[in-house]
Amino acid sequence: MSAYVQEIGALTMRWVRRLSREKFSLVFTLVQPMLFWLIFFGNLFQRTADAQVVQAPNYISFLVAGVVVMTVLNNGLAGGVDLLFDKENGFLERLLSTPIHRTSVVLSRFLFVMTITCLQILVILGVAALFGVRPATGFLGVAVILFIGMLFGVGLTAISMAIAFSVKSHGDFFSALGFLSLPLIFLSSALVPLA
């Protein structure tokens, strides 16, 4: 195995270890999308949604796609947060002074964020299956959902990392995130159909 791949693996495991030490964050990361969006929000508006308007058998079927997209959006836009904290506390500068490829730092973060995002998507689809929602094309549909989610997630994570490397403080970073994410959420048809 090349040194470059080992660097990416070691740095990715650093992110995994950091998350595993934060038990609340680990549980919340995997449970929040399904608990809040599918169970609470889905059941809250189940009776008010007209099946002809949402063009799905029920509102939860409609909502699953929106929850997946919003999960990818949130994970992607938050992908640069930990890099920014490493930058602020000086760890990133010390890390980059070692003889590693600079791109391995960025690629390890991409790999970590995409892995967490895939796990969240699978949890969402698993819980949706308990409600009777299944992709029409079966496992191929799940693979396509994961692939499209990863493409979207990589783009958003790249934007997040670019912001993280260009701002001076996490306050500026979160201001930029709010500026990007809130319009995307409210202008989308993820929660309420356009018709």
Token readout for 115 is 């892995």
pTM over 0.75, yes/no: yes
- Higher-scoring residue by pLDDT: 101, 187: 101
Q: Side-chain half-sphere of 185: how many Cα atoms within 13 Å?
A: 14
pLDDT in tens, 124-174: 888 888 878 888 888 998 999 999 999 999 999 999 999 999 998 888 888
Q: Are 113 and 195 in contact (CB under 8 A)?
A: no
pLDDT in tens, 5-45: 999 999 999 989 988 888 787 777 767 766 666 566 655 55
Residue 107 has pLDDT above 90, yes or no: yes
* Mean pLDDT value across the chain: 82
Listed by start position, the domains of the chain span: 3-187
